[in-house]
Amino acid sequence: MATASIQPLPPDPLRLRRRLGLQGVGFGLLLLTAFAAAVYWGIAAERRQNLRVEVSQLAAAAAAQLPLISHEIQEEGNARKFRNDREVVPLGERRSQRVQWFDAAGRLLLQEGQLPLPAAAAIAPGAGPRQWQQWTDGLSLHQPVYTRRRDAQTAPPRLTGYVRVALAMAPLEQELGRLRRGLLLGGITAVIVALMVGRRLLVQAFLPLQRQVEALERFTADASHELRHPLTLLRTLLASQPAPSAALLHRLDAIAVSMTGLLNDLLFLARQEQRLSAGPVSGDGWRRFDLLELLEDRLLVCAALPAAAALRLNLEPPSGESQLQVHGQPEQLQRLFTNLLLNAIRFSPPGGVVVVSVRRQLGRLRIQVSDQGPGIALHHRQAVFERFWTLDPAGESDATASSTAAHSGLGLPIARAIARRHGGELSLVSGEPGACMFLVELPAA
């Protein structure tokens, strides 16, 4: 038995956005951690190298004093002299430094500073040239000191003794601790800012997709709701008359035409709403044309309708201007003004006047379509641009008109969508009885 393959459902945009957000946060944390580690490692290595340089400089200064200290102590026995004058290497913070001078046999001659030193092996003659030692609290350098007599430059240098200098690691560790705290605080701040900015960017990036999904859901809901009654009527008519007559076929054809028109309007409105996020951009069918010529053509077409036989349709162009150039799609703007004129004609009383006035203001064209009908009640004015919402000619809300072919309740929503697609707006500026007025604003070319 053959079975149809089931296609996997597309991912939910909201779940996809959350997943991308989590992946972005994880990747950002990884990059931030790597960057912070690299910065910390680089600065720590530089600071430790600087500490070694400082220890080497202190050792060089101490080595320069070893011959004099050795001469005075070993030959004259006067160690007090070097503790009371400034010939000994001056130490700033004595608790964080230690300097020791040894003779050639490794015996301690003199020491300065109070930094505790770890236990060290006995210094033997001929020890290595330089010996570094690092422990938890400090860094030390032990090196031999050689001298050469001035009158015996060709003789090999003689071992005078040894020096050992040490500096505490506490200042360096404190500085690195401040660096770690700064990087941690900066990382937390960067994560918070990145989360806020990333969330905003994700919302903006997914906004067009979310609008398309919402438009598709709305189209599906509207189509299923509005087509339910005609389809039920079709089934009822077909079931009640097994042998369809010509009148029944004509009625069925009228219902099918009505359903086709409703579906076309829904599709057109869904496409317009999907494109609104892109703004007024040029595309297929966009060109410059005269708006006054388009309005005159719409008035002639609507004046020939039977419903407009007892009405007057007037066009009031701006004074001193014979043309008003706009950039857009003529077919869509024709539909916009046709919907407004049909709406005005429907609600105008016999002998009434429908006026289309055009004005230019601050680089925009203002087109007002007014009628002398019953107007729109104040509590209904917020709902005039909702889908499938209509009024009967008496000015009351008509709950059943949305299912009819002539007044599906999509004219004004379609007109507003077209106006916004062209960078303009459609609004109700007056709903008073005898002076109902809709305003269309379009950018002038």
Residue 391 shares a structural domain with residue 422? yes
CA dihedral 418, 420, 425, 431 (to 10 degrees): 50
Q: How far is CA 23 from CA 19, 26, 36, 196, in A?
A: 6, 5, 20, 15
Give the orientation angle of helix 330-347 with respect to helix 291-303, to 10 degrees.
Answer: 40
Residue 211 shares a structural domain with residue 263? yes
Residue 321 shares a structural domain with residue 439? yes
Compute the distance between CA of residue 64 and CA of residue 58 in angstroms, rounded to an integer: 10
Compute the distance between CA of residue 165 and CA of residue 297 in angstroms, rounded to an integer: 102
Of 274, 307, 336, which marks where a domain is finished? 274
In the structure, what pLDDT confidence band is assigned to residue 195 with cuts at 50, 70 and 90? confident
Residue 73 shares a structural domain with residue 28? yes
| C-beta pairs of 405-412 under 8 Å, 24+ apart in sequence | 405/254, 405/257, 405/258, 405/261, 405/262, 407/346, 408/226, 408/261, 408/262, 408/265, 410/262, 410/265, 410/266, 410/269, 411/339, 411/342, 411/343, 412/339, 412/343, 412/384, 412/385
Residue 246 shares a structural domain with residue 132? no
Mean pLDDT of 233-243: 70
121 found inside a domain? no
Of 241, 274, 307, which marks where a domain is finished? 274
Determine the pLDDT at residue 7: 44
Of 274, 294, 313, which marks where a domain is finished? 274
The residue assigned the tokens 């060290």 is 120
Residue 389 shares a structural domain with residue 315? yes
Residues of the chain above pLDDT 90, percent: 22
Q: How far is CA 339 from the centre of its chain?
A: 39
Domains in the chain, number: 3
Number of other CB atoms surrounding residue 359 within 10 Å: 15
9 has pLDDT over 50: no
Determine the pLDDT at residue 22: 77
Residue 23 shares a structural domain with residue 49? yes
Compute the distance between CA of residue 190 and CA of residue 188 in angstroms, rounded to an integer: 5
Compute the distance between CA of residue 158 and CA of residue 268 in angstroms, rounded to an integer: 102
Question: How do residues 325-381 score in pLDDT, each as one tens digit?
Answer: 999 889 889 989 999 999 899 888 888 899 999 998 888 999 999 988 888 877 777
The residue assigned the tokens 């003789």 is 155
Residue 301 shares a structural domain with residue 362? yes
Residue 204 shares a structural domain with residue 245? yes
185 found inside a domain? yes
Q: What is the pTM of this model?
A: 0.50
For residue 321, what is the domain's CATH number? 3.30.565.10
Cβ(431)–Cβ(377) under 8 Å? Answer: yes
4 found inside a domain? no
Residue 429 shares a structural domain with residue 288? yes
2 found inside a domain? no
Q: For residue 6, give the 3-state DSSP assignment.
A: coil
Cβ(149)–Cβ(155) under 8 Å? Answer: yes
Determine the pLDDT at residue 385: 81
Question: How do residues 391-432 score in pLDDT, each as one tens digit?
Answer: 655 555 443 333 333 456 778 888 888 898 888 999 988 877
7 found inside a domain? no
Cβ(280)–Cβ(443) under 8 Å? Answer: yes
58 found inside a domain? yes
Nearby residues of 38 by Cβ (< 8 Å), 6 or more positions away: none
Compute the distance between CA of residue 289 and CA of residue 156 in angstroms, rounded to an integer: 104
Residue 392 DSSP one-character state: -
- What token pair was written down for 66? 């070893």
For residue 72, what is the domain's CATH number? 3.30.450
Question: How do residues 285-304 score in pLDDT, each as one tens digit?
Answer: 788 999 999 999 999 999 88
Determine the pLDDT at residue 306: 85
Mean pLDDT of the chain: 78
The HSE-up count of residue 437 (CA atoms within 13 Å, CB side) is: 12
Burial 39-71 (b: 16+ CB within 10 A, else e): eeeeebeeeeeebeeebeebbeebbebbeebbe
153 found inside a domain? no
Got the DSSP string for 64-122?
A: HHHHHHHHIIIII---HHHHHSS-SPP-SSGGGEEEEEEETTS-EEEEEE-------PP
Range of the domain at 53: 13-115+127-148+158-168
Cβ(367)–Cβ(422) under 8 Å? Answer: no
Nearby residues of 280 by Cβ (< 8 Å), 6 or more positions away: 328, 421, 422, 423, 443
Number of other CB atoms surrounding residue 165 within 10 Å: 29
Residue 42 shares a structural domain with residue 86? yes
Element spanning 291, H or E:
helix 291-303
340 found inside a domain? yes
Instruction: Average the pLDDT over each of 22-26, 188-192, 211-215, 287-291 and give the range with the smallest value.
Output: 211-215
Residue 418 shares a structural domain with residue 391? yes
